[in-house]
Amino acid sequence: MPALATITIDVLAKKSGVDIETIHAYQRSGLVPKPQRVPNDLLLYRTDDIERLVFIRRAIGLGFSVEAVRELLGLASKKLKACADVHEIASRHLADIRRRMTELARMESALAPLVESCPRHGGLDACPILNSLSHPDIPTPARQTDLVS
């Protein structure tokens, strides 16, 4: 059985576009296998880890959690699974993104009027932002009563 081609972490970082510190973080979280230690304490990674790191970087860039990336990597390595399994994970993630976008839009609609109404001068006792946060019964511009869900 031929030996797998190996590379140093510097080469791995350069070819994958993932910095060394992040590679170590992915290793600690179990997304990247530990490298092979050879004489002189040199650590060698598999060339296959380049593709794995690109996959991880792109998935994390799309907002997938470490757990979801781990799940996707597991599916990718099992030839018996179907595309529908990946679709399920991606669909859950998309639904979560949409839920967070809705929450962010609600927060923005409540905070924007407060920021716009702030005079930026005077004492803190007259600050509409602090007053709104401290005293929910004080009316604010575009008061949002349904923000807590």
Phi and psi, residue 39, nearest 5°: -50, 155
Judge whether 109 lies within some domain: no
The pTM of this model reads 0.70
Q: How many domains does the chain fold into?
A: 1
Judge whether 69 lies within some domain: yes
Judge whether 13 lies within some domain: yes
Judge whether 116 lies within some domain: no
Contact 68, 59 (CB under 8 A): yes
Q: Tens of pLDDT along the chain (149 residues)?
A: 344 688 999 999 999 999 999 999 999 999 999 999 888 888 899 999 999 999 999 999 999 999 999 999 988 777 667 888 889 999 999 999 999 999 999 999 989 998 998 888 888 888 888 888 887 665 555 444 444 44
Judge whether 139 lies within some domain: no
Phi and psi, residue 8, nearest 5°: -80, 165
Domain span at residue 49? 6-81
Which CATH number fits the domain that encloses residue 38? 1.10.1660.10
